Structure 1
Amino acid sequence: ASVPLSHAQNHPSDKPALIDYWPDILTGFDMVDNLLRRLDRQGLLRPSLDVFLPCKVRIVPRSTEAYSEIAYMFWHPAALQDEAEADRLASDLFYKMAQNLSLAATDQTVITAELEELKTGDIPFFSVHVESGKIAGTSEKQWLPKGNLIDAALARWRAMDMNAQRNIIRASLASAYINDNWHPNYTSYWPTSGSGKDMDRRRRILAENKMRTIINSAIRAEDGTVAWIAPVYAPTGWSVRPIDQDIYNGLGGIAVTMGAYLYETRKGRANPIDGLEDLFSDLKRTLQLVEDRYRQHHKEPIKIRPIPPGGYLGLGGSIWTWLTLNSLGMADNGTERACSIASLIPESLQEYENCDILYGLAGALPPLIQLAEITSNKNYLAIAEGIGDRLVERAVWSGRQAYWTHGARRNGLGGLSHGVTGIGWALAKLAEATGRERYRRLADGAFLFEESLFDYAEGNWIDMRAVEGRKSAVAWCHGAVGIGLAHLDLDPSVQRDITRLQLRRAAAVTSLRGLGREPSACHGDASAWELLDAAITHGEGPDHLTRDALFDQWLTSLEHGVPDNNITADSFSPGLFTGMAGIVYQLLKADRFSNLPSFLMLGKMTVN
């Protein structure tokens, strides 16, 4: 039988599609915030909260998942056989966990009470009296400071950076859809013309203002460390949280951009910014602490999963970060730090089998080759050859074409970040560095597979991810921009016919479909500009476009900003590939006298 169902009563509309309401969510947030602040100014907010003073509020010091896992552990046969050892291990885990959780107790009395509750009852129960802050429940031990919780909450709310809260809301909305492989079909905001005036002054102002935004959004701690909260891409998908140390959307990429800004400032090609050097120093210190802490955890009996080897979301990217900062004169110990990170790669290779350049095996090759050149240490080239041999073993041949499986995609992928273009690019660099024919042959096979994906009717390479409603992609990560830049990087003087062909193809489709969708470097204008500028320089750009016209249009698009309905572009990210740092870096690189390397291709500094 067919029974009609009524709409759920807990939704605000008959069609509860979040994407249709996200501007209203931000409007509602601002309305509530304005109302509460008006009541606070009038002295009405605090008295209205007195009704909660007698209440007791439950606090959950640790996640229920953590409690449940420890409870299960107590019933493991090994734990039942040696209860004292199980108690010791659980207590040690809870103590270490509390180092990163503000609500969790490090006091041994409280931890012991929590563990006893898990063995004899359920999730530990703690409550706190709102007026006094007195704790009751599983343990009466007071491990949190006493005081009026309402007054403390109001003080935190009054000091809160509401703009940062809005950015987090935008980021949360965007990441919710990106994880579902949702790709909006926005109308391009790319201008048909620019003002044609004062381009260097406009470039400097845009770079300065965007760098100030990155600075102002930083979260500074009393110990001198720094963090940002933003949408973060990792091998498991997108989430909104404190950024990691990688170069793709993390601390490493921001550090490179800040180092580049200071370098260009000293050369007279960027406007000075007060406070940038101090923040940059704190950022470098934070990176070092993160790396040192990882090494410390790595030595403990409970093993943690190694960092991936990749060139953008992994150890390879961290090597490139320190080498680049060193070449900019912004890190005296840069080479030493890079060598230290490189020593972690062999263990990482035992854990990861993904072959791509983003976080997989191939991504470690270009940084290792650079490190071998700089240090004259052949051990790094030997590690790179070991990776190359793994790629040879894992390659799938179809006639003269070669590809690699990627997750559930057994027939391979095209493109730079996850596909044959990126792996072939890395292998070609390894072949050049070692003279090994097997790497050259495999790189050629990868590029033949890439060529088989070119669709003449589409004027682009087929995107084998089969994203709904889209046959091909233009972005650096999966499309034409990355393919064109990879071939150019392997042949920077454009001596080969294939380089000219791929550069011409990539530039043509990028000028038609790749501008004005998003400003970022990974899948937007910041990388499209680099490709088109290079194509025009080498005589392979669109006939209607000059370097100055392209640059003027890009500046104009940045000055106008993205439309309000562009949910992904409007969400704040400080990252190098995903956000503002990448735009700043490209604006610095756009100076005709700049010798900054291409971060898109993990480049090296050129002599200037």
Structure 2
Amino acid sequence: MESLSKTRRRTTRTPQAAAWIGEGVTSHWVLGHALEERLPSLRMRGTPEAVDEARARRRLERWRKQEPLTRDSLWAERLRASGLTEAELHTLLGEPAEALHARMGAPPPWQRVIERAYASAISPPFSWPEPTPPGAALLGLVEPLVHEAHARLVSALDTCLRDLPAAPFEPEHTARMLLAPLPRMLMPLLGRTLAVELRIAQLEGRLQGDTPEARFQDFAQHLRRRDVALDILARYPVLARQTLEYVTAWEATGVELMQRLARDAAALWRRFHGGVPPGPLVEAQGGLSDPHRGGRTVFLLRFASGLRLVYKPRPLTAEAAFQQLLAWLNARGLTPPLRTVEVLSSDGYGWMEYVEAAPCQSAEEVRRFHLRQGALVALLYALDVTDIHYENLIAVGEHPVLVDLETLFHPHTLAASLRDVEKQPGAVLNGTVLKSGLLPQPAWRAKDGTEVDFSALGAGEGQLTPLGYLVAAAHGTDQLHFERRRMEIPGAANRPRMAGQDISVAEQADALAQGFSTLYRLLAARRDALLAPGGPLAAFEHAPVRVLFRGTASYDALLHESMHPHAMGDALDRQRFFDHLWLAVKERPYLAALIPLEQEELQRGDIPRFTALPGSKDLWSGAGRHLPDFFDDSGLERARRRLAGLSPDDHERQLALLRSALDRVRLAASPGGRPRYPFREPPEPAHPDALLTAARRVGERLVALSFSGAGHSHWLSLEVSDTKEWRLVQVGVDFYQGLSGIALVLAQLGALTGEARFTQAARGALRHLTWRLEAAPMQVRGVGILNGWGGILYALTHLGALWRERALFETAESFVGAMAPRVEQDEHLDLGSGCAGALLGLLTLAVQHPSERASRLARVCGEKLLQTATPQSHGMGWLSPSTGGQALCGLAHGGAGIALALLRLASATGESRFHTTALEALAYERGRFSPEADDWPDLRADAGMHGGGGPAFMCGWCNGAPGIGLARISGLPLLDDHRVREEIAAAVRATLAGGLGYNHGLCHGDLGNVLFLLEAARALHDDTLLRRTYQLAGGMLQGIESHGHLHGLPGSIETPGLMVGLAGIAHGLLRLAAPERVADVLSVAPPVS
């Protein structure tokens, strides 16, 4: 293969032949043999004398250096998969073609077939059906093979017609129709190799013609010469063998299709055409699916009457059972009913009604479409379906129709290293409504950060493929080459339309949710009948279903990349390339047993296809190889457990995910600003019992949304990625939105209410938190209270104090070592993400659990804050990459939070320099205070989104008066003078004037602001403000009753976390209900005694 780019030696038969025909390539045909085909005779005959040791070492080293085979254990496993030793592989890699030819004896069977086909020329040239793909003139290389196969196909159809005179086709015309997809199959296989040969011919001056087009035509004419074609095929025996397999498979599958059509004709007319023959076949579109099991693909057939049928070369037992299930549900009151599709299932294949897209005619039809779609989401969730993408759904007016259901009852694999799959971040999605692929969600993320959605409800026009595809450029010229480009994904008929416009699924969230709930409850009510012997699910027990271990796109990319010329000269080079399949074995060890089966199918040019029976734990490959007891349990057993587990809590959990998936679409289309709601202050203050009851309800919702297993609890939430895209992910370990904050609030709720369910959920969250931290401590990049180690230590310390468990203090201390290098790297510096927050978390731990390590690192944080303080026109400020060169005011990101941390450090260490720098931070904020606005400005670079021209003012804990006021109150034991008191009063005025009516969150919502007022009233001993605070709390309770829980994410999207979600709402209500028993996390207060 290394000599492909070199000028080859020539024979001397004629001057013209010498230019085009290579010497000594006859023996190269044998290089098309795979490893497994070469090995038996090697063992029988022994190591050949003629082994090129240097070449063997070079090729073996290259194979060993290919990831992941650098690992010795994996390399040994790979050798075992092919049943050979490294010494044998070394020999095979260094064995010259001539020695292999002599050892193998008879010529390969494909060589004899090819040489026989090329023994006679075709005259006139073979005629391909129009339209042909670009560059189709290159197909002249393989015309003899196609010509022979076409002739045999016509003959076989003639025979079929003689045996079954009612067959609805004419042989010649039908063979011509069946030929149409073949060029599209062959061009990707031949294109790059022939482009290389074209380039070599051009460089060597062998092309005749005055223009690039003429020289290309000269090359194409030479390809039609039998001696030139055979020479090329002999030098690329893998290409030759694969081409023959493609052509042979095309012929065999065409014959098979027409024989089946002829045999089934009478039954087809009865089922699909009222018993009346539809006239002859006039159109046959093949290649409408990936090729499986010998090149078989889906066909769409059209007859003279207009009847169209879909032929699928696989068993349709599952599809037929699914239609029966839909009819069963309709008969039991499902409203609106789901449309069924006619299916005729035969032995190993079947026929389906053609479903044609149509628009909706009214808004009511649009609503009913989404009611039905919601029902399908519930049904596919119950049946554990996967891989329903945009091509599997057709919008037919008000009916969403599923047209490909080969992945029903998807079983789970036996994976020893992943038995705790519920604990794996991200794996939880596989047990939810998101698994089926119906709901919008990104399947891929391109390098530029753009997301690609293949889902049935999310995919639309205008998307680009995430990866570049090889595309021919400079067609029809001697400059032909291939470029890698991202291609536009063609639109499909999956989305409903009205008046020429696609309907956004996000606009139909309520209808989709209603339809989901309707069928979910029907399934729960009828589960006994569904699961009964002879019930609807029993019909699926022996219906073959597809099992997906990798995405089809991954197989397709691997197959097409393996068609590179460097892999076409020796089958061992192509097999080495296919060994990229081993990359996934580290995470999914069970794949090792499947790779030989996958490679077997890929070498034939098929996309690997595995199947199972819903009632069995066994697995079958596309070639029919049987792997008994491959799965932990059968797909039907999983579905039975899923149906048995349908419950109000599960319903709420899945419904929340459904809405989150739609919220993500809405946010991507229109992020929105900071929403408002009508806040009304009642005359009477809220009673603590009412606040506790409200907190309990929030806690119930939080527990209902959790995913639990193996003693772990975790949650899913929408979060913004680094590329500013919204993603539905498992929450992190942080305090702001993740497990540490959620665990602490649930523990507070359990302690205050005495209800074990909350404490149990808190312990589950803690267990998952510590498991993730111990497994991957480097996942925590920040050090602050909100987004880093500071918050994690703070939460663990509080939990240890609340539960009186010293071990939790020790767990917190054990993470100080992982925290230290992050402190050194920190550039944020503030309370939320930086050293100020780390300092507060470390001090909280050191007070509860004296720790030299924690105290020492706290001092390091303080030193860093002193070193990074930057002189301002007034006092000192801190700059970071996130502040845009501007020192900020505020608790979370500005001087107030840093000053509070330094004041506490000064108190803990007795060192006045920390106190002095804290005063400088306060001086900076005082210099920024606006007497006109009676407030501190929000100086963030993007703060303009909160207001118009001039300085922006935000009234929130994170940025604005409430946070600054809370910082001053928290520092009163350490710094109390008239200026501090004046600032607290100003913060109270600003909060009362503009801090209510946003959302119910802590970070930048009403609860965070009211909690500041609570602290102010308590610190100032102001009974009037205290009563007002509880009146405002009553207004929030009324708002919750009227509008639900309004979260701090854009659009008030529900999220479980502390600072903008359910956990924070629960904490705020608990703190208001019992301030003496619930520590105030907003001021990073120590645990309550």
Q: Same fold (TM over 0.5)?
A: yes
Deviation at 1:519, TM superposition (A): 0.8
Deviation at 1:225, TM superposition (A): 1.4
1:75 corresponding residue in structure 2: none
Residues 508 and 542, structure 1, Cα contact 8 Å, conserved in 2:
no
Residue type of the alignment partner of 2:716: I
2:886 to 392, 408, 411: 411
2:1013 corresponding residue in structure 1: 532
- 373-382 vs 516-525, which deviates more? 373-382
User: Is 1:425 aligned to residue 910 of structure 2?
Assistant: no
- 332-341 vs 342-351, which deviates more? 342-351
2:991 corresponding residue in structure 1: 510
Equivalence map 1:290-369=2 (5 Å)? 290-294=772-776, 306-369=780-843
User: Is 1:244 aligned to residue 244 of structure 2?
Assistant: no
2:717 to 213, 222, 230: 230
2:590 corresponding residue in structure 1: 106
- Looking at structure 2, the residues matched to 472 and 312 of structure 1 have their Cα atoms a distance apart, in angstroms, of 22
- Looking at structure 1, the residues matched to 801 and 956 of structure 2 have their Cα atoms a distance apart, in angstroms, of 29
1:393 corresponding residue in structure 2: 867
1:397-432 CA deviation, whole Å, 9 max, x = no partner?
234332212337122333222333323332332233
Residues 58 and 125, structure 1, Cα contact 8 Å, conserved in 2:
no
Residues 1079 and 1088, structure 2, Cα contact 8 Å, conserved in 1:
yes
Deviation at 1:364, TM superposition (A): 0.6
Question: In the superposition, relative to structure 1, how do residues 216 and 515 fare at CA in structure 2: closer, same or farther (>3 Å)?
Answer: same
User: Is 1:215 aligned to residue 703 of structure 2?
Assistant: yes
Deviation at 1:580, TM superposition (A): 1.9
Deviation at 1:575, TM superposition (A): 1.9
Residues 358 and 418, structure 1, Cα contact 8 Å, conserved in 2:
yes
- Looking at structure 2, the residues matched to 518 and 123 of structure 1 have their Cα atoms a distance apart, in angstroms, of 55
Equivalence map 1:108-257=2 (5 Å)? 108-110=592-594, 125-128=608-611, 134-136=619-621, 142=627, 145=631, 156=642, 159=645, 161-174=650-663, 182-196=671-685, 199-221=687-709, 223-232=710-719, 239-257=727-745
2:797 aligned counterpart, secondary structure: helix
- 544-553 vs 56-65, which deviates more? 56-65
Deviation at 1:257, TM superposition (A): 1.6
- Looking at structure 2, the residues matched to 555 and 225 of structure 1 have their Cα atoms a distance apart, in angstroms, of 32
1:542-570 CA deviation, whole Å, 9 max, x = no partner?
97963442333333333434489998575
Residues 507 and 541, structure 1, Cα contact 8 Å, conserved in 2:
no
Instruction: Structure 2: state its 5+ residue gaps.
Output: 1-460, 463-490, 563-572
- Looking at structure 1, the residues matched to 601 and 933 of structure 2 have their Cα atoms a distance apart, in angstroms, of 64
1:468 corresponding residue in structure 2: 945
Deviation at 1:478, TM superposition (A): 2.2
- 441-450 vs 121-130, which deviates more? 121-130
1:327 aligned counterpart, secondary structure: helix
Question: In the superposition, relative to structure 1, how do residues 347 and 429 fare at CA in structure 2: closer, same or farther (>3 Å)?
Answer: same
Residues 790 and 842, structure 2, Cα contact 8 Å, conserved in 1:
yes
- Looking at structure 2, the residues matched to 219 and 565 of structure 1 have their Cα atoms a distance apart, in angstroms, of 20
Deviation at 1:320, TM superposition (A): 1.0
Residue type of the alignment partner of 2:682: S
1:260 to 736, 743, 748: 748
2:728 aligned counterpart, secondary structure: strand
1:523 corresponding residue in structure 2: 1004
1:26 to 480, 496, 510: 510
Deviation at 1:475, TM superposition (A): 1.6
1:60 to 537, 545, 550: 550
- Looking at structure 2, the residues matched to 37 and 595 of structure 1 have their Cα atoms a distance apart, in angstroms, of 41
Residue type of the alignment partner of 2:621: A
Overall identity of the aligned pairs, in %: 21
- Looking at structure 1, the residues matched to 849 and 694 of structure 2 have their Cα atoms a distance apart, in angstroms, of 37
1:3 corresponding residue in structure 2: none
- Looking at structure 1, the residues matched to 968 and 1031 of structure 2 have their Cα atoms a distance apart, in angstroms, of 24
Residue type of the alignment partner of 2:653: A
Question: In the superposition, relative to structure 1, how do residues 130 and 446 fare at CA in structure 2: closer, same or farther (>3 Å)?
Answer: farther
1:289-319 CA deviation, whole Å, 9 max, x = no partner?
2233236xxxxxxxx5554222222211121
User: Is 1:558 aligned to residue 1033 of structure 2?
Assistant: no
- Looking at structure 2, the residues matched to 250 and 448 of structure 1 have their Cα atoms a distance apart, in angstroms, of 34
Question: In the superposition, relative to structure 1, how do residues 348 and 338 fare at CA in structure 2: closer, same or farther (>3 Å)?
Answer: same
2:945 aligned counterpart, secondary structure: coil
Residues 369 and 381, structure 1, Cα contact 8 Å, conserved in 2:
yes
Question: In the superposition, relative to structure 1, how do residues 55 and 321 fare at CA in structure 2: closer, same or farther (>3 Å)?
Answer: closer
2:857 aligned counterpart, secondary structure: helix
Deviation at 1:460, TM superposition (A): 2.7
- Looking at structure 1, the residues matched to 1022 and 881 of structure 2 have their Cα atoms a distance apart, in angstroms, of 32
Residues 508 and 541, structure 1, Cα contact 8 Å, conserved in 2:
no
Question: In the superposition, relative to structure 1, how do residues 49 and 460 fare at CA in structure 2: closer, same or farther (>3 Å)?
Answer: farther
1:51-85 CA deviation, whole Å, 9 max, x = no partner?
x95675755269959x99xx99xxxxxxxxxx9xx
User: Is 1:497 aligned to residue 972 of structure 2?
Assistant: no
User: Is 1:434 aligned to residue 916 of structure 2?
Assistant: no
1:585 corresponding residue in structure 2: 1067
Deviation at 1:90, TM superposition (A): 8.2
1:163 aligned counterpart, secondary structure: helix
Question: Greater CA radius of gyration, 1 or 2?
Answer: 2
Question: In the superposition, relative to structure 1, how do residues 49 and 182 fare at CA in structure 2: closer, same or farther (>3 Å)?
Answer: farther
- Looking at structure 2, the residues matched to 494 and 437 of structure 1 have their Cα atoms a distance apart, in angstroms, of 12
Residue type of the alignment partner of 1:97: E
Deviation at 1:324, TM superposition (A): 0.9
1:461 aligned counterpart, secondary structure: coil
1:258-288 CA deviation, whole Å, 9 max, x = no partner?
2222333xxxxx3x43533433333333333
Deviation at 1:234, TM superposition (A): 7.7
Deviation at 1:228, TM superposition (A): 1.6
1:273 to 732, 741, 755: 755
- Looking at structure 1, the residues matched to 757 and 651 of structure 2 have their Cα atoms a distance apart, in angstroms, of 22
1:231 aligned counterpart, secondary structure: strand
Residue type of the alignment partner of 2:945: E
1:455 aligned counterpart, secondary structure: coil
- Looking at structure 2, the residues matched to 413 and 122 of structure 1 have their Cα atoms a distance apart, in angstroms, of 61
- Looking at structure 2, the residues matched to 441 and 124 of structure 1 have their Cα atoms a distance apart, in angstroms, of 70
Deviation at 1:493, TM superposition (A): 8.6
- 437-446 vs 326-335, which deviates more? 437-446
- Looking at structure 1, the residues matched to 1060 and 798 of structure 2 have their Cα atoms a distance apart, in angstroms, of 19
- Looking at structure 2, the residues matched to 36 and 543 of structure 1 have their Cα atoms a distance apart, in angstroms, of 49
2:963 to 474, 477, 482: 482
- Looking at structure 2, the residues matched to 111 and 180 of structure 1 have their Cα atoms a distance apart, in angstroms, of 42
- 89-98 vs 588-597, which deviates more? 89-98
1:577 aligned counterpart, secondary structure: coil
**Cα RMSD (Å):** 4.6
Residue type of the alignment partner of 2:1053: S
Residues 745 and 1066, structure 2, Cα contact 8 Å, conserved in 1:
yes
- Looking at structure 1, the residues matched to 729 and 537 of structure 2 have their Cα atoms a distance apart, in angstroms, of 34
Question: In the superposition, relative to structure 1, how do residues 559 and 90 fare at CA in structure 2: closer, same or farther (>3 Å)?
Answer: same
Instruction: Report the number of matched residues.
Output: 561
Deviation at 1:336, TM superposition (A): 0.9
1:571 corresponding residue in structure 2: 1053
- Looking at structure 1, the residues matched to 669 and 893 of structure 2 have their Cα atoms a distance apart, in angstroms, of 18
1:590 aligned counterpart, secondary structure: helix
Question: In the superposition, relative to structure 1, how do residues 409 and 532 fare at CA in structure 2: closer, same or farther (>3 Å)?
Answer: same
1:298 corresponding residue in structure 2: none
TM-score by length of 2: 0.45
Residues 26 and 169, structure 1, Cα contact 8 Å, conserved in 2:
no
Residues 488 and 494, structure 1, Cα contact 8 Å, conserved in 2:
no
2:1028 to 546, 562, 568: 546
1:97 corresponding residue in structure 2: 587
